[in-house]
Amino acid sequence: MLVHVVMTFFVMLLIGVSIALPSGLWVIRDYLSYADLAWPTERGFNVFFESEATETQINSTAQTIRNHNFVIEAYLIPKSVALQEFLIAADLPDIAEGMAENPLPDTLTVLVKENIQVVEVERLTDFIRRLETVDQVSYDAQITVRFNAIHTIFNRMLWVVAGTFCLFALFVSASAVRIAIESRFHEIRILHVIGSPGRITRGPFLWCGFMYGTLGGILAAVLLTLVLMFVEEPLRTLTASYGVGRDLQNLDWTFVGILCAIGAFLGLSSALYSSWRHLQRVTRNWVI
């Protein structure tokens, strides 16, 4: 009995780990994407204004930029707000009082349309650089392209890892169901000979696979919560360095539900395959 319980736990743990690993990567990627505005993208750049520029001048220049055909959105971060955000993110809230002057410039974050080429964005930034009161435009096409390539590689690797681990979970669950079938072969044969319909014979094994998967999903959620608690601090430091202050949220019920659903789907499909394949041996190679 104890051996059976331990075995069941290990099966669920293996499925849980298989689900937790890609899910964990996904959660971290999702979290880091919040820092996107501070990172370079092909579709965005920052415009820094001269420190002497007045509010009216800045608003007028910002409006000129907003009116450009390529621009879909441009929002202003006043230097006072930028300083406040920076000090909070850097965990230095009291420093502001001792500062004689705000060293940060007013900033306009600009997003351009999706279908605009890098060359055209560069043309736009050249145009903005020539505008009155504009000090700098931070747009480095090379870095942007590299960064986006890395981003794409990471995303694709995430799918590869997820696919590989899903296959692993399927294999583990299918093997566990096969062992369950083999350990009850005698009972299955009796059921077959007294006329048990396939759905009744298969039922317990499908249920078994479903439970392995669902409980594996719950274990994945537990593991993920533990891992996120462990990496929360360095992640917060990383994102704070990009000027984004956001706590790593605990997994919500929807996410836990999705993990369980993925686990249940994997468990059930592997049990369907395994029971179909191995129960056939009872009916096809009948030897009493």
Which residues bind to other proteins, rule: CB under 8 A? Answer: 186-187, 189-198, 200, 283, 286, 288
Tokens matching residue 10 = 């290990």
Min dist. Cβ of residue 184 to other proteins (A): 9
Tokens at 4, concatenated:
């059976």
Least distance in Å: CB of 260 to other proteins?
A: 30
Alpha-carbon distances, residue 239 vs 106, 211, 244 (angstroms): 21, 38, 5
Closer residue to other proteins in complex, CB, 250/283? 283
User: Cβ contacts of residue 106 below 8 Å, gap of 6+?
Assistant: 48, 49, 53, 58, 76, 77, 78, 79, 82
For other proteins, which is the closer residue by CB, 198 or 257? 198
Q: What minimum distance in Å lies between the beta carbon of 284 and other proteins?
A: 9
Least distance from other proteins to the Cβ atom of residue 4, Å: 12
Report which residue type is found at 269: S
Closest contact distance (angstroms) between CB of 196 and other proteins is 5
Do the Cβ atoms of 212 and 15 come closer than 8 Å? yes
CB of 212 to other proteins, least distance (A): 21
Q: Which is nearer to other proteins, 150 or 193 (CB)?
A: 193
Nearer to other proteins, 251 or 282 (CB): 282
Q: Which is nearer to other proteins, 100 or 288 (CB)?
A: 288
Contact present, 49 and 135 (Cβ < 8 Å): yes
Cβ proximity to other proteins: between 151 and 192 the closer is 192
Nearest-angstrom CA–CA distance, 188 and 186: 5
- Rg, the chain, Cα only: 29
CA-to-CA distance for 13 and 17, rounded, in angstroms?
A: 6
